[in-house]
Structure 1
Amino acid sequence: MPASISTIMERPVCFIENHEDGTIQVNQEALKILSRYTQKVVVVAIVGKYRTGKSYLMNKLAGHRNGFSLGSTVQSMTKGIWMWCVPHPKKREHTLVLLDTEGLGDVEKGNSENDSWIFALAVLLSSTLVFNTIGTIDQQAMDQLHYVTELTEKIKVKSSEQSEDVDETSEFKRFFPSFVWCVRDFTLQLQLNGKDISEDEYLKNALKLKPGLSPAVRNYNLPRECLLHYFHSHKCFVFDRPASKEKLQDLDNVEENQLEASFVQQTKKFCRFIFENSPVKTLSGGYTMTGRGLGDVAVSYVEAIRSGSIPSMENAVIALAKIENSRAVDEALSKYEEMMKESEGKFPTETQEEFLNLDKESHSEALNVFMKLSFKDENQEFQFKLLEELAGRKEVYQRKNEEMSIRRCRAVLQELSAALEEGVRQGKFSVPGGYKRFMAEKKSLVDDYLKAGGKGVKALEVLQQFLKEKENVESSILIADKTLEEKEKKLAEQKSQAEAAARDREILEKTNLELQRSLQNEQDSYRMHVERLEKKMCEDQEKMRQENTWLIEEKLEEQKEMLDGGFKNKCQMLEMEIGRLREETNKPQSLFGEIVTALLPGRLGKIVKKIFL
């Protein structure tokens, strides 16, 4: 659904606070804002040296002249990471989250370690990373990418225990954002060997590796190799100088027609590319993130940094999964409650089957909500919790349905038996022939009761209880009736007992039938959970296969680049990675038995297994 008025941000807010003592923390106000965004998010972060015009580009993406602070002096204006959430201009029901980072290399800060963490967080949180530099893509510009070469020391894919002695860099491309290099104040001609080239070809040429093993060559290749190996979808934009120095100092208030036309055109081209090509922020396995989830993983990463450990993407995903799966259970239960409360208008149901159908429909919708919101529910822990909770809620509503039925039945009987009760009190039946008159009025009362509608599921039980309560009165009237012989009285008593026994049998048969239906309903609920789980697991595996297929294509392109450059050893390493990915992608999966075993414990699990397996 579209962003509500309460979630529209007029101005950016600080997302990751960077304090003077070098510590960072997540701003609680930003978390509250993100918690209201339940749409999918496209997250664009921009990094680069301070005073290079990063904020101007982010304001353009936000559709505003100002917002992110531009500043007009040599001081860096942005501290930490600032956030601005705006409706996505191209993707309906998506939110564009813009992250403007403080300038790297600020001489006033004097803390390169802090810069590295800001860069690492921008990588971890974004789906597109914009790297902003001035001049050209030369060695000096490449030297600014030393933050990329440090990422292996700042980010882990697996938890620290699992990642020891394991090279995880081959997995970075699966998690990392797409990469866009913006070169500002570009004055060169886009030519190579006398031929015109595109911006992307300019970047591709700048990222070419040099053959050789000398320390100088290794230092030259390292940032280029990391950029190629860690990121995907490399894109380049070059911008002319936007205006004169005087105008640049007041860029917030400069009209677009006062800027260089080529700069304005290139800025529009850049924005159009970001809007059309920046992907939704996605975790491994194809889980698309919401603003709420983005806030949760940010907390996970920052807390890891504050504790002195290295942020693990796997740990962040596990922590997010627990939070989101708990929410999924809560929202699924809320959906069930909402539907059952609406169904209370139909209480008491005439039959138990009607009630079970209401429960089944509500249960199904609740399960839909859970399946839509949950992810990485290891061992179906949260799904089984949902199943147990729904069973408990069903019992509550079943009792409510029965209680309403009992109250309704008693009210009907009270109304119908008023004349009979009054007759008993006045001694109307304590006369010769009174027993037959009493039995006739009782039969009429029972007939009228059985014809009355809206009594619900407890109609027979309440009637039987009412008639049992009248047995002593009936017996007294029978004994007192002098017109009946002892034999007739005995036959009348036997007939009354037979009728009561027949009603007991009818109630027992009804109870047994309801028990069977309840058991069938529970089996249907389990079956529904198993079927939805199997479908979700198949969908998740298909997403993983698609992700692996995409990653294989990326690795093949990378391998081609290495082969063209004559890097045989690196080609062999990539060949091994590609082989592993293909093996993982083509590995047959056996799901169904594992699902049933995991989800359905105990007696009902065995029953459902017999049905399915």
Structure 2
Amino acid sequence: MASEIHMPGPVCLIENSSKQLVVNPEALEILSAIQQPMVVVAIVGFYRTGKSYLMNKLAGKQKGFSMGSTVQSHTKGIWMWCMPHPQKPEHTLVLLDTEGLEDIEKGDKQNDCWIFALAVLLSSTFIYNSIGTINQQAMDQLHYVTELTDLIKSKSSPDQSGLDDSADFVGFFPIFVWTLRDFSLDLEVNGKPVTADEYLENSLALKKGTDEDSKKFNAPRLCIRKFFPMRKCFIFDRPAYRKQLSKLESMQEDELNKEFVEQVAEFSSYIFRYSGVKTLSGGIEVNGPRLKILVQTYVSAICSGSLPCMESAVLTLAQIENSAAVQKALTYYEEQINQKIQMPTETLQELLDLHRTCEREAIEVFMKNSFKDVDQKFQNELGTQLEAKRDALVQKNMDMSSSCCSDLLEGLFGPLEEEVKQGTFYKPGGYYLFLQKKQELVKNYIHTPGKGLQAEEMLRKYSESKQDLTDTLLKMDQSLTEKEKQIEVERIKGEAAEAANRALEEMQKKHEMLMEQKEKSYQEHIRQLNEKRDLEWKELMAEMIKVTSLKHQEKERLFKEGFQSEGMMLFREIEKIKNMLSPPAPCTIL
């Protein structure tokens, strides 16, 4: 719940010491406890450009992220502040403040590239903060965006489709927001007033030509347009006189430039309203534990010398969550079985019907909590364990029935056995007297409820175990002729044979019922798997429609600007994406 998020201030998420990135365990522990969907807003920019001030405003606090008051870079690494989202109930707002880029004291551009890349990978809204106007110098400073494809892999194996990597990135790259601080010019283009967004789009216009200068000019612009088709721009006046800027975090709003205060309010309102939940490929919403795994996976890849891979991170996340999903499903199954089944059941069918209900619901639990289960590895594991639990349940039901029947037989027939020991039936006519009492006790046994499905089998075994005693009484009864005794022997043999046949038939029936149940379980897995695949297909379609729509818009802009070649490249890319989209064939085997 939102009320459970208690972070009075930010904590370091990723430490950056000795040019090595290290994940902070304290921050990971905080993330582990937050189950809500997360709206992740990250900010990057050059040092001493006022990033932390904007993030504190988003936090609704005067102080929080360290601002500093000198020309030195203050924030080191990536700092995190989690709080209840101010406008979205049951959502958590995560603010990520990063250390300033190109800090001369640090002198490590590769390190800056990783900070930039991590901010892009972890956020749902990515804010690039700079001073002044969007000119060529500002674009040159944004060279990090041109290096994203060299820093990030979208897939774990090479893409054979021939598609530009941006096709994979766009689907779950963040919204791009460019904030321009201390902006002092009039918002005009060719003498006409424009909005901040129009100013940004005009600044991203390409230069015609194939020479090196044109390529250098176009490179960052093309990257922003390809990777971040959803973009926004905000301009901010200088907040106060230059000498007052060092005291900005202690100044009240009425002491600040009125236009600046209004601009910050407009910026904050946009971020709160339009920043969505951090989502991974396939529509997977990120919560605290998932963000924790992403941070660990990406930083581990960087530290090992390899590239952070979005697909690998999702698969790592899937391995962890799918394993947990199996356990959730099994726990649910056991809880439901314990609540619904009173053992021993009178019939095997009654037990299997209850099992099937609990099994179906357990599979639903797994489906709800799992994703990207490659080759249905975890679903197969669940199926195997549910089958084992069913067999154990059947055995336990039989054992309880056997125990119950054994106790009942001992209680009912114990006095009769005692009479036999005392010689009550060792007299003429004693055999039939014993048989009469035994039959009365059998009737009592049959009519006693709650014995379970082993009732007949246990009675058969009991009678079989006492057959020597019955034979002895029959032989010793002098009132019976030898012929009568022989007839009685044959009758007893016939009844025993009939009981044995019924036992074999019951065993065969039980085997058939279990095989039928196994097939029904399998079909239930297939049914739910196909339903999940259909749902995932619809989500993928929605994701691809979003990607192609954004690319189509960019294609139209390029054509309008006269860049036919670049526009045709996007057109071919869109067509390839469309051709790749075909509904999945119904699954018939796990």
- Interval of TM-score (by shorter of Structure 1 and Structure 2): over 0.9
Stretch moving more, 148-157 or 36-45:
36-45
Secondary structure, aligned partner of 2:458: helix
The 8 Å contact of residues 160 and 312 in structure 1, kept in 2 or not, is answered as no
- Where do 1:123-522 residues align within 5 Å? 123-159=120-156, 167-245=164-242, 248-343=245-340, 346-522=342-518
Provide the C-alpha distance between the structure 2 equivalents of 1:511 and 1:3, rounded to a whole number of angstroms.
57
The 8 Å contact of residues 156 and 163 in structure 1, kept in 2 or not, is answered as no
TM-score, normalization: structure 2? 0.94
The CA deviation at 1:518 is 1.3
Partner of 1:14: 12
Provide the C-alpha distance between the structure 1 equivalents of 2:536 and 2:410, rounded to a whole number of angstroms.
59
Secondary structure, aligned partner of 1:204: helix
Superposed CA deviations along residues 300-343 of structure 1, whole A, max 9, x for unmatched, are: 22222112122222222232222222222222222222223334
Superposed CA deviations along residues 551-593 of structure 1, whole A, max 9, x for unmatched, are: 11111111111112111111121111111112123x3x3512x
The CA deviation at 1:275 is 2.3
- RMSD over equivalenced CA pairs, Å: 2.3
The 8 Å contact of residues 322 and 369 in structure 2, kept in 1 or not, is answered as yes
The 8 Å contact of residues 117 and 152 in structure 2, kept in 1 or not, is answered as yes
The 8 Å contact of residues 83 and 99 in structure 1, kept in 2 or not, is answered as yes
Instruction: Give the alignment partner of residue 521 of structure 2, picking from 516, 519, 525.
Output: 525
Provide the C-alpha distance between the structure 2 equivalents of 1:85 and 1:157, rounded to a whole number of angstroms.
27
Provide the C-alpha distance between the structure 2 equivalents of 1:32 and 1:73, rounded to a whole number of angstroms.
33
Provide the C-alpha distance between the structure 1 equivalents of 2:90 and 2:267, rounded to a whole number of angstroms.
22
The residue identity in structure 1 corresponding to 2:277 is V
Superposed CA deviations along residues 199-227 of structure 1, whole A, max 9, x for unmatched, are: 21121122112222333232222211111
The residue identity in structure 2 corresponding to 1:491 is I
Q: Which runs of 5+ in 2 are unaligned?
A: none
Instruction: Give the alignment partner of residue 537 of structure 2, picking from 525, 541, 552.
Output: 541
Superposed CA deviations along residues 16-37 of structure 1, whole A, max 9, x for unmatched, are: 12112x1112222322332333
The 8 Å contact of residues 405 and 458 in structure 1, kept in 2 or not, is answered as yes
Partner of 1:64: 61
- Where do 1:3-82 residues align within 5 Å? 3=2, 5=4, 8-20=6-18, 22-82=19-79
The sequence identity of aligned pairs, in percent, is 47
Provide the C-alpha distance between the structure 2 equivalents of 1:12 and 1:485, rounded to a whole number of angstroms.
102
Partner of 2:557: 561
Size of the alignment, in residue pairs?
590
Partner of 1:591: 585
The CA deviation at 1:154 is 0.9
Provide the C-alpha distance between the structure 2 equivalents of 1:4 and 1:333, rounded to a whole number of angstroms.
31
Secondary structure, aligned partner of 2:588: helix
The residue identity in structure 2 corresponding to 1:518 is L
The 8 Å contact of residues 331 and 370 in structure 1, kept in 2 or not, is answered as yes
The CA deviation at 1:57 is 2.5
Provide the C-alpha distance between the structure 1 equivalents of 2:191 and 2:12, rounded to a whole number of angstroms.
47
Provide the C-alpha distance between the structure 2 equivalents of 1:518 and 1:137, rounded to a whole number of angstroms.
72
Partner of 2:93: 96
The residue identity in structure 2 corresponding to 1:596 is T
Distance 1:342 1:62, change over 3 A: farther
Secondary structure, aligned partner of 1:427: coil
The 8 Å contact of residues 349 and 456 in structure 1, kept in 2 or not, is answered as yes
Distance 1:104 1:524, change over 3 A: same
The 8 Å contact of residues 164 and 573 in structure 2, kept in 1 or not, is answered as no
Distance 1:62 1:361, change over 3 A: farther
Provide the C-alpha distance between the structure 1 equivalents of 2:21 and 2:496, rounded to a whole number of angstroms.
78
Superposed CA deviations along residues 34-69 of structure 1, whole A, max 9, x for unmatched, are: 233333322211111122222232233334333322
The CA deviation at 1:390 is 1.3
Secondary structure, aligned partner of 2:171: helix
The CA deviation at 1:362 is 2.0
The residue identity in structure 1 corresponding to 2:487 is L
TM-score, normalization: structure 1? 0.91
Provide the C-alpha distance between the structure 1 equivalents of 2:495 and 2:161, rounded to a whole number of angstroms.
80
Distance 1:491 1:259, change over 3 A: farther
Partner of 2:109: 112
Distance 1:447 1:214, change over 3 A: same
